Structure 1
Amino acid sequence: MQINIKDTAQAYLKDKLPAEAYIFLATDDGSSKFSKLGGSCAIGNKFQLVVSTTADADYQTPLVNNAGYRLFISDGEKTFLGNGLSLAYKNAGLVLSDDSGLLDGGVTVTALNQAAVAKDDDRRRDEMQTLGQKIC
Structure 2
Amino acid sequence: MKANFKPEALQYLANKIPSGSFVILTTDDGSNKYSSIGATCELADKFQLIILNHADEQFSIKLENNANYQLSMTAPEKYLVSDEITIGFDHGTLTLRDKSGILDNALAVIDWRNVNPESERDRLNKMVTLGDQIC
Post-superposition Cα deviations, 1:54-94, rounded to whole Å, max 9, x if no partner, equal 11121111111122211010123212111431000110000
The percentage of counterpart residues that share the same residue type is 35
Q: Distance in 2 between matches of 1:113 and 1:33?
A: 14
Q: Is the 8 A contact 2:50 2:109 kept in 1?
A: yes
How many matched pairs? 135
Match of residue 119 from structure 2: 120
Post-superposition Cα deviations, 1:20-40, rounded to whole Å, max 9, x if no partner, equal 420011101121210111111
Q: In the alignment, residue 104 of structure 2 is paired with which amino acid?
A: D
Match of residue 87 from structure 1: 87
Match of residue 75 from structure 2: 75
Instruction: Decide whether aligned partners of structure 1 residues 115 and 93 sit closer, same or farther in structure 2, where only a CA change above 3 A counts.
Output: closer
Q: Is the 8 A contact 2:53 2:113 kept in 1?
A: no
Post-superposition Cα deviations, 1:95-134, rounded to whole Å, max 9, x if no partner, equal 00001010000011111156622x4232112211232233
Q: Is the 8 A contact 1:38 1:135 kept in 2?
A: no
Q: In the alignment, residue 32 of structure 1 is paired with which amino acid?
A: N
Whether 1:60 aligns to 2:60 is: yes
SS in 1 for 2:116: helix
Q: Distance in 1 between matches of 2:3 and 2:113?
A: 25
Whether 1:132 aligns to 2:131 is: yes
State the TM-score, normalized to the length of structure 1: 0.91
Q: Distance in 2 between matches of 1:21 and 1:69?
A: 5
Q: Distance in 1 between matches of 2:21 and 2:83?
A: 25
Q: In the alignment, residue 37 of structure 2 is paired with which amino acid?
A: L
- RMSD of the TM alignment (CA)? 1.5
Instruction: Decide whether aligned partners of structure 1 residues 87 and 111 sit closer, same or farther in structure 2, where only a CA change above 3 A counts.
Output: same
**Structure 1, unaligned runs of 5 or more:** none
Q: In the alignment, residue 85 of structure 2 is paired with which amino acid?
A: L
Q: Distance in 1 between matches of 2:115 and 2:22?
A: 16
State the TM-score, normalized to the length of structure 2: 0.92
